């Protein structure tokens, strides 16, 4: 955390999605980014963040597996993980919650819903 602001890790394999999220959150939070599940886990090993915004569908480790690994790591188990997914059917939400998601937001993300979710978990 820098200057008293919370740090958010944005994990998405689509650079446009990362840029859009960072633009929405710019100034309110310190941002870290990762373009894969593997990169996200490396970031989490090397730094402290307050919340993870995690895309579900990514090559390699998908969001479900990344979240399971976060939950299995004692130092990170408490970390809020908000899934971002274009798949918003009830079974997709149930799968995300079963993997350990704190919340699930549909893509494209509605700014008001994103800010309300972050305020709730930070």
What does the alpha-carbon distance between residue 80 and residue 41 come to, in Å, rounded to a whole number? 14
**Number of domains the chain contains:** 1
| 45-103: pLDDT as tens digits | 999 999 999 999 999 999 999 999 999 999 999 999 999 988 878 898 999 999 999 99
SS3 8: strand
Q: The domain containing residue 25 runs over which residues? A: 7-121
Q: What is the pTM of this model?
A: 0.93
In a domain, 2, yes or no: no
SS3 75: coil
CATH number, domain at 98?
3.40.50.2300
């Amino acid at each position: 955390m820098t200057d008293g602001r919370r740090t958010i890790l944005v994990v998405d394999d689509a650079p446009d999605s990362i840029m859009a999220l960072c633009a929405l959150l710019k100034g309110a939070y310190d941002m870290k980014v990762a373009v894969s599940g593997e990169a996200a886990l490396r970031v989490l090993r090397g730094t402290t963040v307050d919340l993870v915004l995690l895309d579900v569908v990514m090559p390699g480790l998908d969001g479900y597996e990344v979240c399971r690994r976060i939950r299995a790591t004692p130092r990170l188990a408490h970390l809020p993980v908000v899934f971002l997914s274009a798949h918003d059917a009830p079974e997709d939400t149930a799968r995300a919650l079963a993997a350990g998601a704190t919340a699930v937001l549909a893509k494209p993300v509605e700014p008001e819903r994103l800010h309300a979710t972050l305020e709730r978990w930070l």
